[in-house]
Amino acid sequence: FNDDDNFSQVLNEVLYLQRLLVGEVRRLDVALEKTELNLSGWKARGPARIMLLAGFCFARTTQGDGFIDLRNCELTPKDGEQLARLLEAHPKLTSIDIRGNETLGEQGTNALIAFMNAQKALRNTAPRSLMGVGGSTGSTLHIPKQVPYFECLMLCAELESSVFSEGVSSAMGGKSKSGSTLNRRGGHAGDGWQPLIWAAKDGNMTIAEQLIKNGHDVNKTESLSDKGSSAWGPIHWAAAKGHVAVVNMLIEKGANVWIKDKHGSTAKTIAEKKGLKEVVESLDGAEKAPNRINGRRTNVFEAPPTVMP
């Protein structure tokens, strides 16, 4: 974690590390035989923080997976890069919680996202988490309705790297103004778990928009072979739940309003059956829009396709 070409920087980090050890050695020593190290709101500052954590991780005496709570610690961009390297170097550190650290900035956030993305290609390895999943809260992940920008990016990376399912209360129709809870079922997400469909169903505009920016297909539906689903896509779920703003956003992003589920129903048909007038109006307007071809948004100045006699 040191740049050996810069002696003054290395010396500075060593001095900071010495100060940190004096103040933190008791807390770290107690945690050596535990699975969790709670540093939420950690007041320590300086360039040697992650170096100290690296030493702690490799000195742990327990063989179990480890979790470090680093919420609201004002982590820096360099801290983010070093944390990503630590996670890669120490497979037993399966979970950290870095929520509340917008100070990571683009540089630190990108390093951590790159680590999570790299996990998708790995098999037979324990799932990893940046949001504390697998730590003190078990397999649950709470997703707020309003998420800060960099935290949103990392949260989406988490949703993309593992398989999640809705919590019991959410699946039964329970709603919370603060957010929703998911349960991680395992790593290596596949087609059975589609984060964008969940976000549309949940009405989480922030997450849905970011997932689309990440490349998720607004028209990808649930599998036709899944007997437990109706092969709905994001537009069907958003319409069925009455999330007008999400419906409008999906339309703007190119959702096909004519797409049908396995029973032959469009999103508008579903909304009509539920008496969701605002949703019906939005979908009806999209169907009639002059700049849409086969339900998809096109360039308003683009000529419609020529129909040969």
Domain definitions of the chain by residue range = 194-203+215-309
CATH number for the domain formed by residue range(s) 194-203+215-309: 1.25.40.20
Q: Could you read off the pLDDT of 226-235 as tens digits, one per residue?
A: 888 899 999 9
Q: What mean pLDDT is reported for the chain?
A: 87
Give tens-digit pLDDT for 262-302: 999 999 999 999 999 999 999 999 998 866 555 555 533 33
DSSP string, 197-248: HHHHHHT-HHHHHHHHHTT--TTPPPPTT-TTS----HHHHHHHTT-HHHHH
Q: What is the model's pLDDT at position 168?
A: 59
pLDDT for residue 290: 65
| pTM listed for this prediction | 0.86
Backbone angles phi, psi at 220, to 5 degrees: -75, 125
Name the band, by pLDDT with cuts 50, 70 and 90, for residue 309: very low
- pLDDT of res. 228: 83
Per residue in 175-208, pLDDT tens? Answer: 567 799 999 997 665 568 999 999 999 999 999 9
Please give the distance of CA 97 from its chain centroid, rounded to a whole number. 13
Q: pLDDT at residue 308 above 60?
A: no
pLDDT, mean of residues 120-149: 89
> What integer pLDDT is reported at residue 218 of this predicted model?
97
- Give SS3 for 129: strand
| Sequence-ordered alpha helix ranges (H) in 64-161 | 77-89, 105-119, 149-161
Is residue 65 predicted with pLDDT exceeding 50? Answer: yes
- The whole-number average pLDDT for the span 37-54 is 90
Report pLDDT for 118. 92
Contact 37/68 with Cβ under 8 angstroms? yes
Locate 98 and state its tokens.
């870095």
| CB neighbour list of residue 176: distance below 8 Å, 6 or more residues apart | 169
